[in-house]
Each structure stands twice: as C-alpha cells, then as structure tokens.
C-alpha cells in the first residue's frame, strides 16, 4: 500500500538527528493487557526483538493497530511455544505517522539495536522508500504486510527490466501491477463503467495504483476522461469536483487512502455526481464508510476475505481471544504471517547456536527459502522478495460495512 521521493542519505541523517524523538517501546506482553504468561521455555540466552514500523497514531492508525497487534500475537505465541530455543522474543512497535521522515527515524533507532532481528512494516509505500534503505544498509530483514508498490522490490523499470532493489526487503501482500488491472477489469466488465475520472493524492501508492489501473482500463476500451490530483491531507474537494463534473464520468477511481476517499465520495454525491468511487486496499476500511463512503462504492484489497479462509480461523480465534482493543483490519493477517516468517526463519538461522549480527545473512537466506501455511494461505517469496500469493478481492459498500463481491487473480 501506499510522494515524495526522498533521498535515503538525507533521511538517514534526519533519523540520526531526531533519534531521540523515538521512544523505546518494547512490549513483551499480550496486546490485551493481560500480562506476559510465565513460560517453561529456556530463555537463558536473552531477548531478541521484532520491530514494527507503522502509523500508530493519526488518520491511518486503524490499519497500523492491526499490524502491531497481529505481530504481537505472533510474538506471544512464539514465546509460549518455544519457537526460538534459548531466547525470549519482544515486540518493539514504533509510530511512523505515515511520514517518511518519521519512518527513517524509527528505522535508524531499530538499526542501532543489536537485538533487533527483523522488522514488520511499513504500511505506506512512500514510508518504505525511506525505511528500506536504512534497514538494508544495516543488513536487517524487513517484511511488509501492506506495501503494494512494485518498484520497492523490482525497481522503477519493473515492467521492462525488473531488478531487485534491497536483498533485505520482502512482503506478504501482492502488488499494484496486479491490483490496479484487477480493479479495472471488474469496474469495466462487471460494473459496466466506461467513462472514468481518476483522482490521486500524489503519493507513491496512489500514483502507482492509478497508473496500472489506467493502462488496463484503456486496454479494455474504457475512456479516462480526466485525471486530477489532490493534496495528501485535503478534505475539501470542491475544486476538483468542479473540474471533474463537466466530463460526466460514470465512475471515479481514487488513488490514495480512506481519509481522502471517504469525504470525496460524499462530496461528489452532494454535487450531483452520484457515481461509484473505487479505490485500492488503501480505502478498504470501515473508516472509509464512516467518513462518507456510500452504498455501491468499491475497493480492491489483497488476499481473500480473512474471515472466509479456513487458513485464518486459528488466527482470528487467537486474535479475538487476546483482548486487543482494535480489530485486525485489512493487514492483520498479513502482518501475522510476516512476523511468523521472521520468527520461523530466525529459528532456522540460529539453530542450536546463538544470535549475533553475523547471523543476518543466514536469516535472509532462510526467509528466501521460507514456505509455510499461514493465515493468508501459503506464505512464500519469489526471487524479488514478493509474495507468491497474488489473490485479490473486490469489496462493495453495502449499508454500514464492506461485502466481498469477487475474489480471484488478475488474468490479463
């Protein structure tokens, strides 16, 4: 998921200068506040840390909380089941506020700690652009449950000449080169929309998603009547609606997240353009509806609906039983699988030995070879670090919630 392109060196410097702003926040107890249960495991070798970098405050905090909580669940279960012999695991969640500079600060902090074995995150692709090079420079494993921008794994020329960018970067979700076209196919073939306006918020995620949507929509004969850009934090869309209205589109595709998409949908309808708004996984949250999303609006999201998967039943039961205040949201199951991939690969890399920074290459090798049944299905990575799970779902707003209307893979 989810622009400013920021030079890594500058962000590293910013992270060093502002490091004090990131507080230590290791959590060794369950998210429900019940306290860490006593363990009969041998933990005499010390504590190792799984980091999380996600927006834990601000307008995307609902998504960030799901990532943090699901990662905490995986750590709690690993401690209970003695998954890393000799060691106790702790979670260290840091708030990036969906800001690339704050993400760089968090990455710099985690990179300074010898006990950090891997990082779950980020949510936003624009934040990943600042976090990934810092972690890569320190050979620290990163697995994102939510970044969908293709360039993070295969470079800017990913369609013609894909080349792996960082050997330390992996993800458990699929990418926009599948998600955008999958959305276009549904909107044109199933919903029957042919004249589509596009609005983006200018960030990495939204622009990339809109680009792949546009290519497929035009390939199928639809007309992109106009493409407009709004500010990342805009809530008044009167000017962009005035620009769109003369084109009389029968749908609007939004490249961005729910804080902008929800109000845009409401204001379009109020202006007499009562047409469906569609977006990607960035708008797939109940907050979109609460902010103004209406019946008939559409979103794609990665994977199949979590609550329909047999593979996710144990995860959902454990998550509900942990007493977290927030739901697992769109990326919780993907974060759970990401954390477990770190933990399982860590156990393989350490074996009967002890952790040191010399084990980082072995850990990366183990992740590259990792294959396990996770909450989202089979968790496995290709040569670029991308998930081999390319399933996507289209959801539609029906009343006060989202309902799945199609699940499958992009077939061209």
* DSSP code per residue over 121-181: E-S-HHHHHHHHHHHHHTT-EEEESS---THHHH-TTTTTS-----TTEEESS--HHHHHH
The pLDDT tens digits of the residues spanning 315-339 come to 999 999 999 999 999 999 999 999 9
Residue 141 has pLDDT above 70, yes or no: yes
The CA-atom distances, in angstroms, between 341 and each of 83, 119, 354 are 12, 11, 19
The pLDDT tens digits of the residues spanning 355-412 come to 999 999 999 999 999 999 999 999 999 999 999 999 999 999 999 999 999 999 998 7
The CA-atom distances, in angstroms, between 256 and each of 114, 122, 124, 261, 345 are 36, 16, 10, 7, 33
Q: How does the average pLDDT of the chain come out, rounded? A: 92
Q: Which residues, including other chains, have CB under 8 Å from residue 358's CB and lie 6 or more apart?
A: none
Two domains, one topology: 8-174+309-380 and 176-302+392-408 = yes
Mean pLDDT of 248-256: 98
Give me the residue spans of the domains in the chain: 8-174+309-380, 176-302+392-408
- Find the range with the poorest average confidence among 25-34, 85-94, 229-238, 394-403: 25-34
| H or E, element range at 49 | strand 47-54
CA proximity to 281, closest of 306, 256, 259: 256
pLDDT number for residue 412: 77
The pLDDT tens digits of the residues spanning 144-184 come to 999 999 999 999 999 999 999 999 999 999 999 999 999 99
* pLDDT level of residue 121 (50, 70, 90 thresholds): very high
Tell me the pairing of strands 298-302 and 392-398: antiparallel
Q: What is the percent of the chain with per-residue pLDDT over 90, rounded to a whole number?
A: 89
Joined tokens for residue 372: 């396990």
Assigned superfamily of 8-174+309-380: Response regulator (3.40.50.2300)
Is the Cβ–Cβ distance between 141 and 363 less than 8 Å?
A: yes
Residue 293 has pLDDT above 70, yes or no: yes
* pLDDT level of residue 22 (50, 70, 90 thresholds): very low
Assigned superfamily of 176-302+392-408: Response regulator (3.40.50.2300)
The CA-atom distances, in angstroms, between 7 and each of 49, 126, 285 are 28, 12, 31
d(CA 244, CA 58): 29
pLDDT number for residue 40: 87
d(CA 34, CA 67): 19
Is the Cβ–Cβ distance between 11 and 136 less than 8 Å?
A: no
Q: Find tokens 């770190």 and name the residue.
A: 342
Number of Cα atoms under 13 Å in the Cβ half of residue 29: 9
pLDDT number for residue 183: 98
pLDDT number for residue 39: 64
Residue 343 has pLDDT above 80, yes or no: yes
The CA-atom distances, in angstroms, between 285 and each of 77, 162, 174, 266 are 27, 31, 18, 16
d(CA 265, CA 244): 13
Residue 21 has pLDDT above 80, yes or no: no
pTM above 0.75, yes or no: yes
């Amino acid at each position: 998921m989810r622009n400013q392109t920021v030079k890594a060196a500058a962000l590293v410097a910013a992270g060093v200068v502002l490091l004090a702003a990131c507080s230590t926040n290791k959590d060794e107890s369950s998210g429900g506040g019940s306290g860490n249960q006593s363990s009969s495991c041998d933990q005499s070798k010390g504590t190792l840390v799984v980091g999380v970098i996600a927006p834990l405050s601000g307008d995307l905090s609902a998504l960030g909380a799901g990532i943090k909580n699901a990662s905490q669940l995986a750590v709690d279960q690993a401690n209970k089941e003695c998954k890393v012999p000799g060691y106790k695991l702790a979670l260290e969640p840091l708030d990036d506020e969906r800001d690339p500079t704050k993400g760089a600060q968090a990455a710099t902090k985690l990179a300074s700690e010898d006990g950090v074995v891997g990082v779950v995150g980020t949510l936003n692709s624009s934040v990943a652009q600042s976090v990934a090079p810092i972690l890569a420079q320190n050979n620290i494993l990163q697995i994102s449950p939510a970044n969908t921008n293709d360039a993070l794994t295969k470079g800017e020329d990913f369609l013609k000449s894909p080349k792996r960018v960082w050997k330390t970067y992996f993800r458990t979700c699929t990418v926009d080169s599948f998600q955008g076209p999958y959305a276009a196919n549904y909107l044109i073939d199933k919903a029957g929309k042919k004249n589509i306006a596009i609005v983006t918020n200018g960030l990495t995620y939204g622009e990339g998603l809109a680009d792949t949507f546009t290519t497929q929509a035009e390939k199928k004969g639809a007309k992109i009547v106009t493409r407009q850009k709004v500010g990342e934090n805009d809530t008044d869309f009167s000017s962009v609606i005035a620009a769109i209205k003369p084109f009389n589109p029968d749908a609007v595709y939004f490249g961005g997240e729910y804080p902008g998409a929800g109000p845009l949908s409401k204001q379009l309808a109020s202006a007499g353009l009562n047409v469906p708004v569609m977006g990607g996984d960035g708008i797939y949250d109940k907050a979109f509806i609460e902010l103004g999303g209406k019946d008939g609006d559409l979103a794609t999201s990665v994977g199949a609906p979590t609550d329909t998967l047999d593979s996710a039943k144990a995860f959902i039961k454990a998550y509900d039983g942990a007493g977290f205040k927030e739901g697992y949201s769109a990326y919780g199951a993907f974060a759970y699988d990401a954390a477990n991939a770190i933990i399982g690969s860590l156990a393989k890399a350490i074996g009967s030995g002890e952790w040191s920074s010399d084990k980082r290459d072995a850990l990366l090798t183990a992740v590259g070879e990792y294959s396990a049944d996770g909450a989202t299905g089979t968790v496995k990575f290709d040569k670029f670090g991308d998930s081999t799970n390319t399933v996507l779902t289209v959801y539609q707003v029906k009343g006060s919630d989202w309902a799945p209307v199609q699940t499958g893979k992009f077939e061209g």
